Structure 1
């Protein structure tokens, strides 16, 4: 089990301080030879990328995307505009790399960032593909992002039930990715900054092995983010670990509330 630690940052915002606590973990799983996931958890941006395509192509795609986004964090000014510029640069990196092709090479990208430029400040979730952002608020867990997948489109059209989706043969086929085939922009969702919120940002290696109820169970049982990500990773591996598993747990506290 990888070593995991919880980091904390106090942010001064209009209306009072916000204390953020987070931890992240990534693991190859039990059936894959390499880990094609990549993760960035650095205030104010918390994202997961799940690569695909060839033996090494997916690893290059996810790493390139995360590296470009790390540059945005280091430069300051995380916004939809700077994120999309970084994605564009990552696509060029993927195209120019000698070990990638456009035959299925790409990566998902999902996560959240804190936008403190407006009053009131707010969270923004971003998503391309079928990695997910969940929010636990007031005891209820909600999937904030919408999967870009064949199965999700079939469910949305009423041609597939949630039960049928569990074992659908196209369960791994996504309809949008960061890659050389086309220019894509993330979907964005804006959320209030609320005391007690807990975000889970994860690749589908977690959601293949744990239901939404299971994710909530491990959040309820583990108040510390590092304990929560380790418990979820352990459960995912015990349930089969069929894919790479990457998880961020991000907690929000507003002491003045």
Structure 2
């Protein structure tokens, strides 16, 4: 994960592929080099970071005993950008894979990204219901990832940055354990945790089973009259914990 204004992201290495840990780390290192801290970025810089990260992950793939081992990772995040059109700043939401970003308005949790997964395609086609996707045998099959192809095709949205806004960025290890209703209930409560709301979410997911790595970043932003990225406050600290092995807490 990366949580440093103006960009906040989660990259979840693909466990069924080679070097998923190195793939996710490559994404974070690439964004750290490409995006200047403490100031707004641009959509072009963010896209350049995504495509450069894809090249870096592709370079990790190699020939093994069973053929070519493809490194891969999901990527989801949000960056504060200046679109250069004289308008106010925007949050640039980007997604590749099945990690997610949500918006929280204090009452309602809304998924902003769309999962790139086999089960989401079945839901969109009306073949299965959303509640069936959670139990479907292909629920872990994703249809887009960094490192999978020479050219990556991210989903992009631009959201005006104004007033108070809260974003939750997380790996699927969180959403596999907690329903949207459970996540909303935690966000609506008090952050009585050393790592804030993100820490509470991760802890709740682990207590519920923790069958996969859980990463969560909660970003709270208030932008009014100020016109620089310092108005962005990441007051809810991000937290990451590994999946507990059998017999451990």
TM-score (norm 2): 0.79
1 or 2, which has the higher strand percentage? Answer: 1
* Alpha-carbon distance, 1:227 to partner: 1.8
Deviations 1:163-189 (A, max 9, x none): 211111111110000004331131111
* Alpha-carbon distance, 1:95 to partner: 3.4
Mapped contact 1:52–1:104 kept (Cα < 8 A): no
Matches of 1:144 and 1:40, distance apart in 2 = 19
Whose RCO is larger (CA < 8 A, sep 6+)? 1
Matches of 1:245 and 1:188, distance apart in 2 = 24
One of 73, 87, 90 as aligned partner of 1:107 = 73
Matches of 1:254 and 1:180, distance apart in 2 = 37
Deviates further, 153-162 or 223-232: 223-232
* Alpha-carbon distance, 1:56 to partner: 5.4
One of 106, 109, 117 as aligned partner of 1:149 = 117
Aligned to 2:51: 88
Aligned to 2:151: 183
> Are 1:128 and 2:90 an aligned pair?
no
* Alpha-carbon distance, 1:192 to partner: 2.2
Secondary structure in structure 2 of the residue aligned to 1:214: helix
Within-5 A mapping of 1:100-249 = 103-116=69-82, 117=84, 118-137=86-105, 139-223=107-191, 226-249=195-218
Matches of 1:150 and 1:122, distance apart in 2 = 31
Secondary structure in structure 2 of the residue aligned to 1:64: helix
Matches of 2:63 and 2:109, distance apart in 1 = 38
Change in CA separation of 1:125 and 1:100 when aligned onto 2, cut-off 3 Å: farther
Matches of 2:92 and 2:17, distance apart in 1 = 33
Deviations 1:70-111 (A, max 9, x none): 111237763332233223333333333376875452111001
Secondary structure in structure 1 of the residue aligned to 2:77: strand
Aligned to 1:8: none
* Alpha-carbon distance, 1:207 to partner: 0.4
Mapped contact 1:56–1:100 kept (Cα < 8 A): no
Deviates further, 164-173 or 109-118: 109-118
Mapped contact 1:69–1:86 kept (Cα < 8 A): yes
Mapped contact 1:92–1:180 kept (Cα < 8 A): no
Flag structure 2 segments of 5+ consecutive residues without an equivalent: 227-249
Aligned to 1:48: 10
Secondary structure in structure 2 of the residue aligned to 1:139: coil
The number of residues matched between the two structures is 219
Mapped contact 2:18–2:61 kept (Cα < 8 A): no
TM-score (norm 1): 0.77
Q: CA RMSD in A?
A: 2.5
Flag structure 1 segments of 5+ consecutive residues without an equivalent: 1-38
